[in-house]
Amino acid sequence: MHLNRETLQALKTIVGADAVLTDANDLVVYSVDGTTHCQGNAEVVVFPTDVDQISRVMQLSDQNDIPVTVRGAGTSLSGGPVPMAGGIVLCTSRMNRILEINGEDFTVKAQVGVVLNDLNQVLARQNLFFPPDPQSLLAATLGGCVSENAGGPYAVKYGVFRHYLLGMTAVLPSGAVVTLGGNTMKNVTGYDLPQIVCGAEGTLAVISDVTLRLLPKPQASRTVLAIFDRVVTAGQAVHQVRASGVIPAKIELMDNWVVRRIEENLPLGIPLSAEAFYSSNWTAMRRACNRKPRL
């Protein structure tokens, strides 16, 4: 046990009493992530709303030797947000403001608790697009995705989070606030510190906001579903599509075992005899099933 009455009170003073959880039922929720086997031991959960509050929480933990585990939405599949050492869980879900969208420079600056899908919905209204798409995008936060260097099916064409990260504000374990990187692509002088924090799973610093590169929203997209009698042919087709000069935004190959599990759980009408298929979009695939020729 790392916390006493005084440190709990100090945390309430920093973030506000309604931003501190100590109820045992709440703590269970914040002691796990998307993995099924990691179980930590949160002693208190705090919800800061700005960089100053993060800094003061980190100073308090540093002075009192209390472990801090950073958490976004807790969807990680790597155990990163699980508080194995106990102590404070610092959850960024209330840091959900988009600070600036710059349509001329194709950049966005946002607090780390912004949910990826929410960001893209706002960007779409300005014909802008942020490609990396871990399939937890309905819940995953920008901070969690930067810290996991998340990607997803769009990685085929567009790459992963790392490729869009320009800069960030972060808080070191001492509570010191640092600004890393900048807001332009040609910001190349010196060590590339944002890239060190990216993928570090919260072990180096607490990120409070990020500046990300954007792209224009694609004008159109089309979905292809192809069904194959042999999985080897399906694999070769992926290579042939790319070699022909067409780089699909997403491409996923599923073998017969996966086809059967899908049909058991979410019947779409995929032929069970198919050895493999690949598709670039699940929603469209649902519509397209039953209508596609076998290759």
Ligand X SMILES: Cc1cc2nc3c(=O)[nH]c(=O)nc-3n(C[C@H](O)[C@H](O)[C@H](O)COP(=O)(O)OP(=O)(O)OC[C@H]3O[C@@H](n4cnc5c(N)ncnc54)[C@H](O)[C@@H]3O)c2cc1C
The residues binding ligand X (CB under 6 A) are 33-34, 69-77, 80-81, 92, 112, 134-136, 140-141, 143-145, 147-148, 150-152, 201-202, 206-207
Q: Which is nearer to ligand X, 154 or 277 (CB)?
A: 154
88, two tokens:
């404070």
Q: How far is the CB of 38 from ligand X (least distance, A)?
A: 11
Q: Which is nearer to ligand X, 252 or 263 (CB)?
A: 252
Q: Which is nearer to ligand X, 7 or 92 (CB)?
A: 92
Element (H, E) at 177: strand 177-181
Q: How far is the CB of 76 from ligand X (least distance, A)?
A: 3
Helix (H, G, I), strand (E, B) or coil at 195: helix
What is the Cα–Cα distance from 99 to 107, expressed in whole angstroms? 11
Q: How far is the CB of 105 from ligand X (least distance, A)?
A: 24
Q: How far is the CB of 138 from ligand X (least distance, A)?
A: 9
Q: Which is nearer to ligand X, 163 or 292 (CB)?
A: 163
Q: Which is nearer to ligand X, 45 or 73 (CB)?
A: 73
In this structure, which long-range contacts are made by residues 13-19, counting pairs with CB atoms below 8 Å and at least 24 apart in sequence?
A: 14/46, 14/48, 14/53, 14/56, 14/57, 14/60, 15/46, 15/47, 15/48, 15/49, 15/53, 15/57, 19/46, 19/47, 19/48, 19/49, 19/94
Q: Find all residues with CB under 8 Å of 104, minimum gap 6, and list them.
A: none
Q: Which is nearer to ligand X, 11 or 90 (CB)?
A: 90
Q: Which is nearer to ligand X, 73 or 165 (CB)?
A: 73
Q: How far is the CB of 168 from ligand X (least distance, A)?
A: 9
Torsion of Cα atoms, 148 then 135 then 153 then 225, to 10° = 170
Q: How far is the CB of 73 from ligand X (least distance, A)?
A: 3
Tokens 């989070």 belong to: 161
Q: How far is the CB of 294 from ligand X (least distance, A)?
A: 28
Q: Which of 235, 234, 233, 177 is nearest to 205 (CA)?
A: 177
Amino acid of residue 210: V
Q: Which is nearer to ligand X, 69 or 107 (CB)?
A: 69
User: Are the beta carbons of 221 and 265 closer than 8 angstroms?
Assistant: no
Q: How far is the CB of 56 from ligand X (least distance, A)?
A: 16
What is the Cα–Cα distance from 259 to 39, expressed in whole angstroms? 32
Q: Give the phi and the psi of residue 265 in degrees, each rounded to 5.
A: -100, -30
